[in-house]
Structure 1
Amino acid sequence: MAMKNKTYATILLAVYAVVATVHVAADLQRFDHLPTKADGSLDILVVGDWGRRGLYNQSNVAHQMGKIGENLDVDFIVSTGDNFYEDGLIDEEDSLFYESFTQVYTATSLQKQWYSVLGNHDYRGNVLAQLSPVLTQKDSKWLCLRSFIVNSGIVEFFFIDTTPFQDKYFTETDHKYDWRGVLPREEYLSNVLKEVDMALEESIATWKIVIGHHTIFSAGSHGNTQELIDQLLPILEAKEVDLYINGHDHCLQHISSQNSQLQFLTSGGGSKAWRGEVNQWNPTEMKFYYDGQGFMTLRVTEGDISVAFYDVFGEIIHTWSNTKYTHMDS
C-alpha cells in the first residue's frame, strides 16, 4: 500500500503545482478512486476538526478510526476541514503537519488516501503550504485542494471550498486570513458555484455527495451558514444531491431535509468538542445530535447507502440508510 500511495502521490505532484497557486481552473480537478472490493461496495471514514497534536482526544478518535477502518477495509478517508489548529500551517516545514497528522493516524488501515478540504482555521495560516505537493512528498496519503471531485463510479464526491463564502471572515479583525488564490472574491465564488453546478449536472453517478467544511444547517454553536443556504443549497436541491457532509461544528449530527432527499451530516468531532451549545431544532428534521468526539463511516453500493456515527469509544451511536432503485433493478 505504501508503494501504491507513493506512486499515486508522484502523479499528483504536477496537478498540485498548478492548482495550489493559481485561480480556479476552467474545470474542477477530478480523481478516480474506484471500489476494489469484489461486490463493488465502497467504504470510507469521515472526520473533521482534528489537528491538535493528538490532544483533546484526537489520538483516541484516531485509534478507534484505525480499528473500524480495519474491520471495514476502508477505501479512503475524508477530512471535512480545520485540519491544523489554531492557525493552519506556517509553511511546508511546519512540524504541526507531522505531529497532528502523520504521527497521530498511524494505524495500517488509515494509510489510505486522505481527501481533505480547507477549513476557516486552515485559512488563518499559509494556505499554499497546506496545498503544497511538498506535504504529499512528506506523507503520501495527504491530498488537500480547494474544490475538486473524486469519482468512485457508483458515487461521486464533490469537495467544495466553503470558507470564502462566509462574509464575516472578510470583515473580522481578530484574525488574518490567507486569501491568495481567492481574490477577487466575487469571481472566485461565481466560478466555484458554476463549476459545481455543471459537474453535478453532468454526473451520471447513482449517488452524489457534496463535502464542505462549513455547515449549511446545524443546531451546533456555529449554527446555519446563511451564505451557503442562499448560494449553494439551491444547486444541491436542484441537482438531487443525496448528502451534504461538513465539519465546523465540533459535534456529530444528522438533519433531514423536508424539501428534498438531501441529508445534512456533520462530522466535526475529530478532537476538541463538548461545547455544550445546542440550539432547538424541529424534531422531525433533527435525527441525531451528539455534542462530543467521534467520526462517521459511509458505505455505498449501487442501490444502497448507509451511514454510521461512532463515538470516541468506538461505539455506534446513530445509523441511517437509504435505498435507491437504479436502472439495473428489475
Structure 2
Amino acid sequence: MCELIPPRADLTEDQWLRTAGPGLADAAVPDDTPDAAAAAHGVHRRTLLGGAVAGAALAALPFGAQQRAVAAARAGAADRFPLPSAPGPSGEYAVLITGDAGTGKAEQYAVTAAAREICRTEGVGLAVGLGDNIYENGPESDHDSEFDEKFERPNTGIDVPWLMVLGNHDCSGLVPGSGGDPSRGDREVAYAATSRRWYMPSRYYNVTLPAGGGRPDPLIEFFALDTNPVASSVVQLDPHYRWDGPYMREQRRWLDTALRASRARWKVVLGHHPYLNNGKHGSAGSYDGFVIGHYTSGVHLKELYEEVVCGRADVIMSGHDHTLQILEPTDRTRGTRQLVCGAASKTGDGTAHFTHPAAWQDFSRHGFMLLKVSAGAMTIDAYTVDVATKKARLAHRTRTTRPVAAGVPVGAPAGVR
C-alpha cells in the first residue's frame, strides 16, 4: 500500500518534498514494534534515506542474461525448497497466496502462524508473495537483515518456494511507497540467489507446474509482473523505467508472447497493483482518485491488463490494497477474475469504496487465500485471521470447473462450506 500520496499527479520526489515543506527529507521512519521473536534479534531503526544502489551489475544485464545469471547462482545454493513436481495428497496443487506482508510485526507473525497450520493440512507446495515484501522502502542491499526480519523468520515452517513480485514499497527510495526507484528491486532479485524460500529469478518471470519432467501441457502457469514503473506515485526519472521506456516495452512483449505461447490449463497473472479493486486505492486508471498523468493513475497498467491479460488469463492476483476480495469475472474483464489479497500484515478501513461485482470481500480483517488446482477445477479459499488467537477461519470458497476434454469454463462460484 502507498501510504504517502503526492498532492498532485506526476510530481517528482524532489517537487513533492518542496511542496510538503522542510524537514521531510530528514524524517525517520518510526521504530517498529516487532513480534517478540523479532525483538530478540534486535530489529534496527530505519530511515527514509536509501543506501547505495546494490545489484547494479545485475541491472545492467539484458533481461535474458539476468535470468541466466540468477539461475546459475541459484543452482549453487544448497538445500533450496523445490518447486512441486506432483500434486498434493488431495490430487490438487495447493498454493498459499499472501500480500503486503513485510512488516516484521506481530500481525504478520499471527497471519503466518495461522497460514502455517492450513498449509500443513492442505498439503501446500508453493506460496506467492504479492509485493510490499520489505516495508517501508525496500532493502538497502541484497543481504539486508530485513530479509530475515520481515520474510525468513516470520515464514519459518512454511518451507516451500515463494514466488515473489515487487511492490511499490520494495522500489522506493526517499519517499517510502512511491515506487519511484525501481532499480532497488534488483536487490530482491539478487537475494533470491541465496534464500531457500525466496523465488525471484528476475524482475518478471513465469513458472509452470508441475516442475520438471518436460510435460508439454502444464497444469498451471504463473506470470509474475513488475507493475511499479506504470503505477508509481511519482514520475520515473530514469529513462529506462519510464512508462514508455525500454523496460516496460520489453516486459509487455515478454508477457504478450508468454501468454500467447502458454499451453497451461490454468493461467494466473501476479502483479502487485490490481486491475479492479473495491478498496480505497481504487482500480488501475484511477488509483487514489487520480485520472490524469502517466503514473499515479495507473492508466498504462490498465492498458496492459486490458490489452494483454484480460481474456487470456484465468485470474489476476494482486495486493496493494490491504483487503481481501474475490471479484467476479465480467464482460469487461472478458472472463478473467481479479483477486485482491493484501491483508497479511495490515488491514483496510472497513469500507467498500467501489462496486465492482464481488463473490466475497472483507475490508477490515487480516487474512490470506489458498489456490487449489486440478485438471478439472480451480478453487479459491479465503481465510480471515484472528490476530489474538493466531487462528484462521474459512470465510469463503469459490470454485470454477472445467471439463477435461474442453477449454471453456462452465463452473460458477460456490458458497462457503
* TM-score above 0.5: yes
What residue in structure 2 maps to residue 310 of structure 1? 383
CA contact (8 A) 1:24 1:192 kept: no
Higher relative contact order (CA 8 A, sep 6+): 1
- SS at the partner of 2:383? strand
C-alpha deviation, 1:39, in angstroms: 6.5
What residue in structure 1 maps to residue 190 of structure 2? 132
Matched, 1:286 2:358: yes
**What TM-score, normalized to structure 2?**
0.66
**What TM-score, normalized to structure 1?**
0.83
In structure 1, what residue type is equivalent to 2:350? G
- CA spacing shift, 1:71–1:321, aligned 2, 3 Å: same
- CA spacing shift, 1:298–1:17, aligned 2, 3 Å: farther
In structure 2, what residue type is equivalent to 1:51? G
Distance of 2:260 and 2:67 partners within structure 1: 13
C-alpha deviation, 1:27, in angstroms: 11
CA contact (8 A) 2:207 2:221 kept: yes
Structure 2 gap ranges (5+): 1-54, 72-81, 174-183, 210-217, 286-298, 386-390, 408-417
C-alpha deviation, 1:289, in angstroms: 1.5
* Comparing 44-53 and 87-96, the one that deviates more: 87-96
What residue in structure 1 maps to residue 51 of structure 2? none
CA contact (8 A) 2:89 2:123 kept: no
CA contact (8 A) 2:282 2:354 kept: no
- SS at the partner of 1:273? coil
Matched, 1:25 2:73: no
Identity level (%): 27
Select 2:165's aligned residue among 114, 117, 122.
Answer: 117
- SS at the partner of 2:269? strand
What residue in structure 1 maps to residue 345 of structure 2? 271
Select 1:82's aligned residue among 129, 132, 145.
Answer: 132
Q: 1:108-145 CA deviation, whole Å, 9 max, x = no partner?
A: xx111111000000001532221114x542x3111223
Higher normalized strand content (fraction of residues): 1
Q: 1:38-80 CA deviation, whole Å, 9 max, x = no partner?
A: 675211001000111133x111000011000000111110000
1:47-58 map, 5 Å = 47-55=98-106, 57-58=107-108
- CA spacing shift, 1:118–1:223, aligned 2, 3 Å: same
Distance of 1:184 and 1:237 partners within structure 2: 20
Say how many residue pairs are matched.
300
What residue in structure 2 maps to residue 261 of structure 1? 335
RMSD between aligned alpha carbons? 2.8
C-alpha deviation, 1:182, in angstroms: 3.4
What residue in structure 2 maps to residue 8 of structure 1? none
C-alpha deviation, 1:99, in angstroms: 0.8
1:1-330 map, 5 Å = 21-25=60-64, 33-37=84-88, 40-55=91-106, 57-107=107-157, 110-125=158-173, 126-133=184-191, 136-137=193-194, 139-144=195-200, 145-152=202-209, 153-166=218-231, 168-170=233-235, 182=241, 185-226=244-285, 227=299, 228-239=301-312, 241-259=313-331, 260-282=334-356, 285-291=357-363, 292-312=365-385, 313-327=391-405
In structure 2, what residue type is equivalent to 1:266? V
